[in-house]
Amino acid sequence: MLNLKFPEVRRIYRAAVGHHDAARSLLGQCPEKTPSTRGHEVVYLSGYVAECSLKALLVSQFPRNKHSDVIERFKSEVKHNLERLRAELTTKGVHFPKNLQELLRRVHASWNSEMRYDVRTWRRDIVERVFDAAETLLDWTRGG
């Protein structure tokens, strides 16, 4: 689904993959039985996995000469709003199957960019669910 021949799409997609790799590494360090702030970092990064995945997909829906305009809108209008990204993708003809809508809601319900100011502990089972949802969205955007 992504058009990785476009440099801006590749750049944003690489960010999603980098956040995913970091989140996976931290997930492996989360304790099984006790909540941890490491889990907080996994959820925080997982939100960016979802965000960057959807942004790369949205940029892919436009001709190359419009990419800079779309990216500027991310900064001024869309920001970190996962539901808005989904809505904009839908207007561009991208269909979100019901299971992916649920996964996106799961990430959206747990994550926001303001988490950087309010670190708390998270249970591993919840962290895994958010990470798995973001990972599935990443796979879906690249056509997997």
State how far the Cα of 52 lies from the Cα of 89, in Å rounded to an integer: 13
Helical axes 37-60 vs 82-91, angle rounded to 10°: 20
Model pLDDT, residue 144: 66
Do 94 and 10 form a contact (C-beta atoms < 8 A)? no
pTM exceeds 0.85 for this model: yes
| Cα of 17 vs its chain's centroid, Å | 10
> Residue 77 pLDDT > 70, yes or no?
yes
Tell me which DSSP letter residue 122 carries. Answer: B
- The arithmetic mean of pLDDT across residues 129-136, rounded, is 98
Domains in the chain, CATH or no CATH each: 7-141 (1.20.120.330)
